[in-house]
A and B are shown apart, each in its own frame.
Chain A
């Protein structure tokens, strides 16, 4: 039995490592100097940080093959939009979730509708959104992105907070109401402070969704001013597709925060992505 479980463990871990090889290889490329990029070996022979420095600070590679701008500006854009949207949608989402969970606001119709928004293919409604943001004068700006991102983030935070409030006993807010609080006071002063973990997880989810979003900013913020890191990386790959080192470095820079956050909220991810169906 003992040897059996050693074999099982070895097989499982071997499969996992083979599964992750493509990504491990890209991490390797991001530390490889020019000339080694295309080779299949995983560990760089002459490891270097040059790719990261070029992507983050200097921009351009030896000033020889084309010139790309450093990623800092786009990194800041991504951080600003994703953070603001995370805060905004967590606040709005928790308010809606509370009204739905405690007061059945809108009945099943509203709940169904919000849930179904999570499944809408964004490409189908982006054309009108481009027209709308253009006519409002917020096309190609951070504000435009902040106002459109809720379409992907708000359904998720609302659903997550519904689950969160469901686990807080009803008599908590009933007691507050008896003590003379209004419904809004009971929510903001009593219930909300009790669901900090839920709020933090919902905000993290919203942040991750916006951080990784590609299609919406591609169409809504095509110029330099509001372009986030994902579109920068895509543009990089299209324009300077031969520069594997810096390109991989840019990709890893986008992936690192996501992986760290994902590990932290690992317990809640499946529940969040299956809309609470799988606990």
Chain B
């Protein structure tokens, strides 16, 4: 490679290596130490003790399963709602498509913190949602808490936020997929006497299958990053009901709320999260076929 071309990538490489490689190496080393700045003067080597903690730590196991349950609720809901909205918004008779497309962007573009603040008020025990339910004669629901003896719906309340924010993403991606289908295909189908539903089933759906798969994967990997709304809405509670793995890493690494606070244990948990995300991103890379995207 020419030296001048190398000059173009060196600044980026240096920056990203410092921001990614150093942390990864740090995590791999720290995993064998016990250290918390508020407690220890310096890290103590403990060998595999953090692994022992992990096996017996029920909160860690539950945080991983909570993360997977949240993923299992949000991702399919977003895909299904996205398909419904995209179909409705791109039917031939619908007017004002540009307006629909621009306005549906709003939820996905506003920062997640804002969404947290917004729904925190909506779910408040004397907030607007319960007021409306009240006026309809339905008793107020404990959206964010688990009063003694009641099951907790909080994880579902939390899922609503993520679904609300990211369904538009799936919708818009599918709309651009549907609009990308050549017009004459639709004309040919309707000339042959196909109904709107048949056109959707036999013309649109096969064309947008690839987009559905990629959205499924992108939403799955992004659901590993859900943090802001948990921080704003529930702070992992009530109890540990909404503590997902990312939030548990935050709790062990940066607060004293966890039973096993410390950088060492948090490093081990971080590596588990990285491993899960690496598996999914490898699949995405396989499917995306980078060669074709960049050079052809």
Contacts and interface: CB of A to CB of B under 8 A. Distances in A.
A100 B20 contact: no
Name, among A19, A105, A117, the residue most crowded by chain B CB atoms within 10 Å (CB to CB): A19
A233 interface: yes
A173 to B, nearest CB: 12
Q: How large is the interface on B (under 10, 10 to 19, 20 to 34, 35 or more residues)?
A: 35 or more
Interface string A243-279: 0100110010011001100110010011001111111
B232 interface: yes
A150 B26 contact: no
B221 interface: yes
Interface residues of A, number: 99
Given A29-B121, A38-B126, A158-B12, A273 B169 contact: yes
15 contacts: A9-B96, A16-B103, A19-B104, A95-B8, A99-B6, A99-B9, A125-B19, A127-B270, A154-B15, A214-B113, A234-B113, A270-B169, A274-B214, A275-B288, A278-B176
Interface in A105-163: 105-106, 108, 110-112, 114-117, 119-132, 147-148, 150-151, 154, 158, 162
Contact of A120 (B104, B263, B274): B274
A5 interface: yes
Interface in B1-59: 1-2, 4-9, 11-12, 15-16, 18-20, 22-24, 26-27, 30
Nearest to B109: A262
Contact of B94 (A12, A19, A98, A219): A12
Contacts of B214: 274, 277-278
Given A38-B126, A105-B8, A9 B294 contact: no
7 nearest CB pairs, A to B:
A5-B93, A212-B111, A128-B23, A40-B128, A128-B26, A125-B23, A124-B270
Contact of A38 (B12, B116, B124): B124
A162 B12 CA distance: 14
A124 B27 CA distance: 9
Contacts of B102: 263, 266
A8 B15 contact: no
